[in-house]
A and B are shown apart, each in its own frame.
Chain A
Amino acid sequence: MLKALQLEPEKCTGCLQCEMACSYENEGVFNPSKSRIKVFTFHEEGRFAPYTCSQCAEAWCMHACPVEAIVINADTGSKDVLEDVCVGCKVCTIACPFGTVNYNADSGKVIKCDLCGGEPACAEACPTAAITYVDADHTGLERMRAHAAQTIPRDQ
Chain B
Amino acid sequence: MKHVIVGAGPAGVVAAESLRRLQAGASVTIVGDEPEPPYSRMALPYMLINQVGESGTYLRKGATHFSDLAIDVRQDRVVGLDRKQQQLTLADGGSMTYDRLLIATGSQPTSPPIPGIDLPGIYSCWTLEDGRNIAARAKPGAKVLLMGAGFIGCIILEALAKSGADLTVVEMEDRMVPRMMNDTAGGLIKSWCEKQGVAVHTSTKVTGIEQVGDGFTVTLSTGDSVAADLIVSATGVRPNIDLLDGTGVETDHGILVNRNMQTNDPNIFAAGDVAQGRDFSTGEYTVQAIQPTATEHGQLAARNMAGLAGAVHRGSVNMNVLDTIGLISSSFGLWMGADGGDSGELLNRDRYRYLNLQFNDDILVGATSLGLTEHVGVLRGLIQTKTRLGAWKDRLIEDPTRIMEAYLGSTQAIGFNAAVL
Taking the complex as formed, is B188 at the interface, i.e. its CB lies under 8 A from any CB of chain A?
A: no
Taking the complex as formed, is A77 at the interface, i.e. its CB lies under 8 A from any CB of chain B?
A: no
A-B contact count (CB 8 A): 156
Does A99 contact B42, Cβ atoms closer than 8 Å?
no
Taking the complex as formed, is A103 at the interface, i.e. its CB lies under 8 A from any CB of chain B?
A: yes
Taking the complex as formed, is B197 at the interface, i.e. its CB lies under 8 A from any CB of chain A?
A: no
Taking the complex as formed, is B237 at the interface, i.e. its CB lies under 8 A from any CB of chain A?
A: no
Interface residues of A in 82-125 (CB under 8 A from B): 85, 87-105, 108
Residue of A nearest to B296 (CB): A63
Size of the chain A interface, CB-CB below 8 angstroms: 48
Q: Which residues of B contact A156 (CB under 8 A)?
A: 283, 314-315
Does B418 contact A97, Cβ atoms closer than 8 Å?
no
Known: A10-B418, A47-B414. A40 touches B46 (CB 8 A): no
Size of the chain B interface, CB-CB below 8 angstroms: 56
Taking the complex as formed, is A31 at the interface, i.e. its CB lies under 8 A from any CB of chain B?
A: no
Does A66 contact B320, Cβ atoms closer than 8 Å?
no
Known: A42-B409, A94-B380. A87 touches B414 (CB 8 A): no
Does B378 contact A98, Cβ atoms closer than 8 Å?
yes
A69-85 near B? 1/0 per residue, CB < 8 Å: 00000000000000001
Known: A9-B418, A153-B280. A96 touches B409 (CB 8 A): no
Taking the complex as formed, is B56 at the interface, i.e. its CB lies under 8 A from any CB of chain A?
A: yes
In order of increasing CB-CB distance, the 8 nearest A-B pairs are A45-B415, A97-B381, A99-B378, A99-B375, A96-B377, A66-B40, A87-B46, A103-B373
- Interface positions of B (Cβ within 8 A of A): 10, 14, 40, 42-43, 46, 51-52, 56-61, 280, 283, 291-292, 295, 299, 314-315, 319-321, 323, 326, 328, 330, 332, 373-381, 384-386, 403-405, 407-409, 411-416, 418, 421
Can you add 12 more A-B contacts, CB < 8 Å, to A98-B378, A147-B385? A10-B418, A40-B408, A41-B405, A64-B292, A89-B321, A90-B330, A91-B291, A97-B380, A99-B374, A105-B373, A153-B384, A155-B314
